[in-house]
Amino acid sequence: MSETGRTGRTDGTADGDSPDGEVWIVGATGRVGRGVAARLAAQGLRVVPVGRSRERMRAAGAEAGLPPDVRTVVADSAERIADEVVRERPRVVVNTMGAYAATAPVIARACVSVGGHYVDQANDVVAVQGLLALHDEAARAGSTLVTGAGFGVLATEAVVAKLCEERPAPHRVRVDSVASVAVEAGALGVALATGIVDTLTSGGRRYANGRLVPSRLGADPRRLVFPDGTSATSAGVASGELLAARAA
């Protein structure tokens, strides 16, 4: 099912070079989607929630401070969303729906095909590699594709880049990322849950002699003690942070 609710703009298009171009939030009823929508709307951007239920999107939009008659796009799969992107040409698509290994390439390619831009929160190796593989295609189209826009990848890459700044390239880098994550009460959201499953089921990975090679999931455990006296144990997993640290 694919259906567009037109209670905002009625021409169904968005000029990619215009400051009032639409920003679509895929997964707008989730915690991250609501938060992103609220921040973008507060900056005066034209936010369009995208999801399966118009009623839920309107309710989430009200929580995020969107107007009661906010325009919504109803689509029940990544393929349907991609079809709508090609048809309506939003300026930017922010994907928070999860299952990024499957959804990111489909939606991102649709964005590239119309010269739009794309952002997601992927943090598993397959999804991050898949989006990075679209670099040349995106560059030719003048599109910007951003993956790993959550805490993990961005924080890891920034720290490694800063530590290596104006120093010779290190022979070895180990990054122990320990995030403090706020979650809502109740069951995990679909995006977060699928991200955890994708990471755990892909096995371990590490770089050796410049190549990404398999390793044992949970390898090389290390106990970390924090400044406040608390501690945690870290171990090797195949996350997008590994690719970010390597790129840094």
Rg (CA), the chain: 19
Task: Report the share of the chain in percent with pLDDT over 70.
Answer: 89
Using an 8 Å Cβ cutoff, are 90 and 11 in contact? no
Q: Does the pLDDT value for residue 152 go beyond 70?
A: no
Write out pLDDT tens, residues 196-211.
Answer: 787 777 778 888 888 8
What sections of the chain are H helices per DSSP?
Answer: 31-42, 54-63, 78-88, 100-113, 125-132, 135-141, 151-163, 190-201, 240-247
Q: What is the pLDDT of residue 183?
A: 66
Q: Where exactly are the structural domains of the chain? A: 2-146, 151-247
Helix (H) or strand (E) holding 93: strand 92-95
Whether domain 2-146 has CATH 3.40.50.720? yes
Q: Is the pTM of this model over 0.75?
A: yes
Q: What is the pLDDT of residue 18?
A: 43
Q: What is the pLDDT of residue 51?
A: 93
How would residue 3 be classed by pLDDT, with cut points 50, 70 and 90? Answer: very low
Give the C-alpha separation, 100 to 32, whole Å: 15
Nearest CA among 82, 79, 72 for reference residue 51: 72
Q: What is the pLDDT of residue 191?
A: 73
Q: Could you please report the per-residue DSSP string of 6-51?
A: -SS-SS----TTSTT-EEEEETTTSHHHHHHHHHHHHTT-EEEEEE
**Averaged pLDDT for residues 63-71:** 91
How would residue 151 be classed by pLDDT, with cut points 50, 70 and 90? Answer: low
Q: What is the pLDDT of residue 108?
A: 98
